[in-house]
Structure formats: C-alpha cells, structure tokens
Amino acid sequence: MRRAGGVTTIHCGAFDAETLWRDETLAKLPALPDPQAKAIVGAMDELLFLFCEGSDVLLTRNLVAPAQLGYLSSIGLTFRTSDEPLEDSGGAQDANPFQQMLNKGAVRKYKELLPPGGVIEPFAVLDGLQELSSLYRLDGRYPAMETIRHVNSKLYSAELRESLGYGPPTRMVRSHTELRRAAEAMLIAGPVLVKDTFGVSGKGNLLIQSTATLERIAGYIAAQEQKGKSTLFLLEPLLDKEADFSCQFHIDADGGYELISVQQVLNAEFAYQGTFSASGELIEKLEREGYFKLMKKTAELLYENGYNGHVCVDSMLLADGGLVPIVEINARKSMSLIKKRLDDFLAEFSLQGNLTYLSVICPGIVEYADLLAAMDREGLLFRPERGEGILPLSAGTFTINQAAGLKRKGRLYLSAAAGRIERCSELLARMRALLNTRGIAVTN
C-alpha cells in the first residue's frame, strides 16, 4: 500500500458500489424509493479528500463548495480538484464515475488531472476503471470485475465463513416458495433476516418477525418472478447483538498483508450511523480469541480468489459475550477506513474524534459558507489552535437537495474532535443547537 514517490494519486469513487455490482436480473426486496437519499449518497464522494496527500487529486460527481475547500486548506488539508463536475443531467448511467469520465470524452476534459504514470485509487473497483486507466496510460492494475463481484457478494462471505467454521448459519433460497418454506421453519426459533446478496447500508436487509411479514415479502418476490426475474437471497437468524465493529486491512498485489485498524461501528436498523475508535478492552478480547489470525487467513483466501486491495470485514459482539468474526466482507474502502484517516490527522494535534453525521431538513436554501461562518463565530468550528471543535467533512451532502421554498433532506458528515473523547457528545449537542437556531431540523 506504500506509494512511490512523485506519483500522482487520483481519488474517486461511488459509495453505493453494491448497487453497481448487483445483477439486475435478480429480484429485489421491497423498499421505498428515496431520490433525496440517493442524491446524498452520490455526494458522499467528497469524503475521499481524507485520503489525499500533497498534490493528490480528488474527482467528485459535483463540485466541492469553495467554502469547504477554503476551510480544509486553512487546517492543513490541501489537494487538487476539477473545475468541472463529473455529473451530467443523465440518469442511472451516471452512478459510475469512471463511466462518466469515459462517456464525456475524458482525454479532453481531465488530461491535466490524470497524468501518465498516475494511479486512480478508487473507493471501490467498478466497471470502466481499468479502461480509463489504460486510456490515460495510468499505472493502476485492478482485479477483474468478475472477481470484484464474486468476493463482494454476501454469498461469498457466507461460504467463506462456513469454510472457516464460523457462524451464523446461512440458508440460500432461490425462489419465493423456498423463501417462504425456509423462513417459516426458522421463525419457530426466532426472528429471521433476509439479505440481498448485494445489499448496501440501510437497504437490502429485511427483518421477518411474523408470518404476515413473510407472506408480504414472498408475494412481492413472486410478482417479480412472474416478470422473469430470478431469485437469490440469504436467510440468517437474528442474533442478540451487543455491538458492531469492523477490521480494515490491505492486500498488496504480491499478496502481502497489512492490518490497518479496528473501529467500533454504530448501526441503527442495519444502517450506518457512525464510527469511533475500538476500546483497548475490545482489542485485548480479539487478541485472545485469535481474531487477527483469522483476518490474515481471510486475506489469504481473498488473494487466492484473485483479489488485492482494501478490505473491511464487518464483525459483531453478542450479548452473551460471543464473537461473530465475519458477518460480511467488503472488498473495498469503507467508512471505517475514512475514520482511520481522521484518526491519523487528529493525532497530529493530540486529539481524538469520531465519524458521524446529522440528518437534517433544510428550510429552503441554506448557504454552506454561512453555516461555516456561524460555526466559527460560536467557536464550534474545528481549528487546531482551538484544541477542539466540529470538523465538517462534506458540503455536498448538505446542499445537494436544497431548493428555494422547499423542505429538503441533507446530511452533515462531521467529526467531533477533542482532547478527551467524552467531550465529543457535548460538541455534537452544541452543533444540534446551532442548527436549530437557523431553522434546520435534525432528524437523527
């Protein structure tokens, strides 16, 4: 994972990679469409600035707000960006940034930002990445897309977990009738999780606690089967969870293994809420139970299957003290890896922090620059000389849906940074209060 000196690294990616890997011939679980939430996820690529060093390049779907770039530069976080957004006014095809660049005639548009010999470091490997690298004579060599889809499937996670002798037990179903029959049997013992093989945070997992819910889901899938869709879902018992955590590691092109970090994760209804550093107590428990040896073995198996690059393994502590070391394998970067980059930055100032977000409803247009100015006046905006504060991580997720006279959804990704981790909750409370005074409702 070490960089060669003088090589330009280009950071770019999509945070909904699972939807782009997914086989569209497969039936889906029921879900309410939310265009505003989808737009927010599309703007999360701004968070990749935390991987930038020196003259690195950040390419984003939408332009980064000048106020955000100015603020980040003022605290020592500098990088180059494009003066033209990747986003067009098209439809679903725009979800993949590498295809966007290819479709827009990338040689003309991005030549200065993609110099020969540079390397694109993606959030996740997607279709078009290798083609784009070849077009620009970049040095990146990535696993085949067939491999990427294979190792990122939840079916792969379940099969690898089973081969290593770890739970939870998983049942694969290939029709709505098989789903109904298997889930009915499992419901006798307790609630059941049905998983899409390429579900993404907050979507792709459904909890079944009754036969009535099961019948609705089975009926929804049956209707898709009648239209020619195939069915492939996983069923697992709902475990009595105490806490979620994840392990980040990197597999080099030659198979070398680097353990990067362990982060504790806050989830609510299967959706990501935030990340904070793993406690010493948790690390000691993982050492005792051979968790890190298992992570290295997992890396070896991934490499044998043709994968190299970043990996995030989702894990779980149970209420009875048990450990589920492999819940899911994510062969890509992750929010927890972004949190580790935050840790490294804040450590320069002997500070600690978390990674979280505030879901907001904005009353019309709220200028991001005005929000930063208000935070600064209140002494709430993080600056190294203050020794603590709120470090805002993305402007686009806050502004992407705003429209004059309309209440629209946004998200403020941020880190509460302080000398003591206990201060973080106080800083977040002040941030919520500040938003409230400006008529911005916080909904999480």
Q: Report how far residue 325's alpha carbon sits from residue 439's, in angstroms, rounded to the nearest whole number.
A: 43
Q: Report how far residue 414's alpha carbon sits from residue 378's, in angstroms, rounded to the nearest whole number.
A: 17
In the predicted structure, residue 276 carries a pLDDT above the cut 50: yes
Q: Report how far residue 218's alpha carbon sits from residue 206's, in angstroms, rounded to the nearest whole number.
A: 12
Q: Report how far residue 134's alpha carbon sits from residue 139's, in angstroms, rounded to the nearest whole number.
A: 8
**How do strand 257-268 and strand 241-251 relate by DSSP bridges?**
antiparallel
Average pLDDT, the chain: 93
Nearest in space to 82 (alpha carbons), one of 46, 54, 119, 118: 46
In the predicted structure, residue 92 carries a pLDDT above the cut 50: no
In the predicted structure, residue 381 carries a pLDDT above the cut 70: yes
User: The domain 349-442 is classified under which CATH number: 3.90.350, 1.10.10, 3.30.70, 3.90.1570?
Assistant: 3.30.70
Distance separating the N- and C-terminal Cα atoms of the chain: 36
Can you tell me whether residue 392 is helix, strand or coil? Answer: strand
In the predicted structure, residue 35 carries a pLDDT above the cut 60: yes
Mean pLDDT value across residues 269-276: 78
Give the pLDDT confidence of 319-344 residue by residue, as tens digits: 999 999 999 999 999 999 999 999 99
Confidence of residue 180 (pLDDT cuts 50, 70, 90): very high
Mean pLDDT value across residues 252-261: 98
Mean pLDDT value across residues 372-400: 98
Confidence of residue 91 (pLDDT cuts 50, 70, 90): very low
Listed in order, the ranges of the chain carrying CATH 3.30.470.20 are 240-335
**How do strand 119-122 and strand 9-12 relate by DSSP bridges?**
parallel
Listed in order, the ranges of the chain carrying CATH 3.30.70 are 349-442
Q: Report how far residue 42's alpha carbon sits from residue 409's, in angstroms, rounded to the nearest whole number.
A: 14
Nearest in space to 361 (alpha carbons), one of 391, 406, 393: 406
Domain 169-237 coded CATH 2.60.40: no
For the chain, the C-alpha Rg in angstroms (whole number) is 22
pTM of the model: 0.94
Nearest in space to 160 (alpha carbons), one of 327, 21, 287, 311: 327
For the four alpha carbons of 34, 40, 42 and 44, in that order, the dihedral sign comes to negative
User: The domain 240-335 is classified under which CATH number: 3.30.470.20, 3.40.50.300, 3.30.2180.10, 3.40.50.10890?
Assistant: 3.30.470.20
Give the pLDDT confidence of 95-104 residue by residue, as tens digits: 899 998 888 7
Give the pLDDT confidence of 356-365 residue by residue, as tens digits: 999 999 999 9
Structure tokens at 319: 């209420």
- Give the pLDDT confidence score for residue 269 in this predicted structure: 65
Q: Report how far residue 358's alpha carbon sits from residue 353's, in angstroms, rounded to the nearest whole number.
A: 15
